[in-house]
Amino acid sequence: MLTLQPAMAAPPIVIKFSHVVDENTPKGIAAMEFKRLAEERTRGRVKVLVYPNSSLYKDREELEALQLGAVQMLAPSLAKFGQLGLRDFEVFDLPYIFPNRQVLKTVTQGAIGRELLAQLEDRGILGLAYWDNGFKVMSSNSPIRMPEDLKGKRMRIQPSRVLEAQMEALGATPLPLAFSDVYTALETGLVDGTENPPSNLYSKNMHEVQKYVAVTNHGYLGYAVIVNRKFWNSLPADLRLTLERCIADATRKNDDEAEKLNATALIKVKQFKNTQVHTLSPAELELWRKALEPVHRRMESRISKDLINSIRKAAAAQAAASAAIELR
């Protein structure tokens, strides 16, 4: 007699999501939110394995692993796409190009952001969203207040030609290092200082090995949430749609957390007894802007002028709109 076997449920589709930051950061929290939503809403048809803190791959390796299909999802800093030859992504690294988060959002959520993500496709990568982590501060083991205070210092950067030019404009020597190596590089004196949003600085305890922080907010740090294109296109259409909605909700979660977490991290660094945090006066901020202005001109041969001008136009439009509101 035939015994009907219960239909064997197909094994779950596994998404390995690798990243390099601590879990208690905007990206760390958003990755776990994506996991929660994806597993809940696909009723277990998808399983998301999140590997924080470079526990699976470090910076450079993770991009290669994604292209090889060894991991399915990443959210690398926008500063890390230049090493794939995608130079326009380094526009986000230009000092003071974004006056505030609003202009940043106009760019990432509009045509400029979409066009940039489209550049990923011929590298076997699909860009699904942008995640925010706010503006960077400078830190060092020697006092920082004025731009010239970094003269002669060795400064860790992400692998971006714009960030190289930024540090050179300050008379410092840039040293690209993987994020997972930064704490040790600071602790051993391999580098004197670095730059990062407060949430990254604090969550990696860099304040323990950095005596001075200047709240320069000189540059932006954000992420592109990316997947291996072949993997993503192989998913059943209904699953892809559900996962896209999970990404959209995780993006909201990330952006809600980013401002709070960075503000809290900065307060905690200020409370740390061995670190002095200097908030720039308007006059000092002006000196930093001036000192970093040459970076824009120097990078015009590397980043499309139209792209830079469209961002400047978006900034001017936002400034005019806010001025009009104030005049009402």
Please give the residue ranges that form the binding site for ligand LMR (CB under 6 A): 20-21, 77, 133, 158, 179, 196, 200
**What are the tokens at 241?**
């749609």
**Residue 15 · residue 22 · CB < 8 Å:** no
| DSSP percent split of the chain into helix, strand, coil, nearest 5 | 55, 20, 30
Mapping DSSP to helix (H, G, I), strand (E, B) and coil, where does residue 175 land? Answer: strand
Q: Residue 161 CB, nearest distance to ligand LMR (Å)?
A: 15
Minimum separation from the CB atom of position 200 to ligand LMR (A): 5
Classify residue 181 by burial, with Cβ atoms within 10 Å: 0-12, 13-18, 19+: middle
Using CA atoms, how far residue 198 sits from 20, 214, 232, in Å, is 16, 11, 33
If you write DSSP's letter for every residue of 230-290 in order, what string do you get?
Answer: HHHHHS-HHHHHHHHHHHHHHHHHHHHHHHHHHHHHHHHHHHSTT-EEEEPPHHHHHHHHH
Least Å from the CB of residue 54 to ligand LMR: 9
Q: How many residues would you count in the chain? A: 328
Which residues are CB-neighbours of 317 under 8 A, at least 6 positions away? Answer: none
Q: Which is nearer to ligand LMR, 42 or 158 (CB)?
A: 158
Q: In the complex with ligand LMR, which residue's Cβ is closer, 81 or 315?
A: 81
CA distance 30 to 85: 27
Which CA distances in Å does 250 have to 11, 29, 103, 119, 128? 25, 9, 21, 23, 11
- In terms of CB distance, is 108 or 200 closer to ligand LMR? 200
**Residue 53 Cβ, how far from ligand LMR at the closest point, in Å?**
10
Minimum Å gap between C-beta 107 and ligand LMR is: 19
- Please name the residue that has the structure tokens 């489209």: 118
Residue closer to ligand LMR (CB basis): 21 or 247: 21
Least CB distance to ligand LMR at residue 90 (A): 13
Report the residue number, 20 or 292, with the smaller CB distance to ligand LMR: 20
Looking at the DSSP assignment, which residues form a beta bridge with residue 16? 49
Residue with smaller CB distance to ligand LMR, 77 or 275: 77
Nearer to ligand LMR, 147 or 198 (CB): 198
User: Which is nearer to ligand LMR, 20 or 185 (by Cβ)?
Assistant: 20
User: Whose CB is nearest to ligand LMR?
Assistant: 77
* Cα–Cα distance measured from residue 102 to residue 95, given in angstroms and rounded to the nearest whole number: 16
Task: Find out whether 198 and 265 touch, Cβ atoms under 8 Å.
Answer: yes
